[in-house]
Amino acid sequence: MEIFLGWLGFSLLAGWIASNKGNSFWGYFLLSIFLSPLLGIIAALVSKSPETVNIEAAAKGKITETHRPCPFCAEPIRLAAKKCPHCQTELGDLPMPESEAAVLARYGINKNGNWYVVAGQSYASPEEAITEAKKL
Ligand SMILES: [Zn+2]
């Protein structure tokens, strides 16, 4: 019984960590329940928020006015594409990616060279900067 409660508790923790990062609570919760809470927590900890993925892609010049990387094969595809011409995956209605500038402006983050500056503090990764900006 205690093992069951611990399993459930740590699975909830994995879901909570994931949802704090903007990822799916249920996805990580169910992953933990069926595989292992430890695995779920590790996966949640190393997961990147959808925003971070967008920002990193934008920062690398992969998201442009007309194209973005396919979420499955990473080849550039047109923004409005419903099916990837490279890997043939049906994309349906992907949310429009925001440019790096738009996301940074929303959180009041300034970019200084390769640094992300929040309230006078510089961060190497956009994820850290967004985490800090959310605390303000
Ligand atoms: Zn593709």
CA–chain centroid gap for 37, Å, is 20
Q: How far is the CA of 21 from the centre of ligand 1 (A)?
A: 25
User: In the chain, pLDDT over 70 holds for what percent of residues?
Assistant: 96
16-71 confidence digits (pLDDT tens): 999 988 888 999 999 999 999 999 999 998 888 777 777 777 767 777 778 888 87
> Mean pLDDT across the stretch 90-118?
83
Same domain, 12 and 54: no
d(CA 8, CA 28): 12
- Structural domain that includes position 18: 2-46
Same domain, 60 and 23: no
pLDDT for 98 beyond 90? no
Q: How far is the CA of 68 from the centre of ligand 1 (A)?
A: 11
CA angle, corner 134, sides to 129 and 136, nearest 5?
A: 100
Same domain, 8 and 57: no
Q: How far is the CA of 17 from the centre of ligand 1 (A)?
A: 29
Q: How far is the CA of 95 from the centre of ligand 1 (A)?
A: 16
Same domain, 59 and 125: yes
pLDDT at residue number 86: 93
* Domains: count for the chain: 2
Same domain, 82 and 24: no
Q: How far is the CA of 79 from the centre of ligand 1 (A)?
A: 12
pLDDT at residue number 2: 83
Q: How far is the CA of 84 from the centre of ligand 1 (A)?
A: 5
- Across the chain, mean pLDDT equals 86
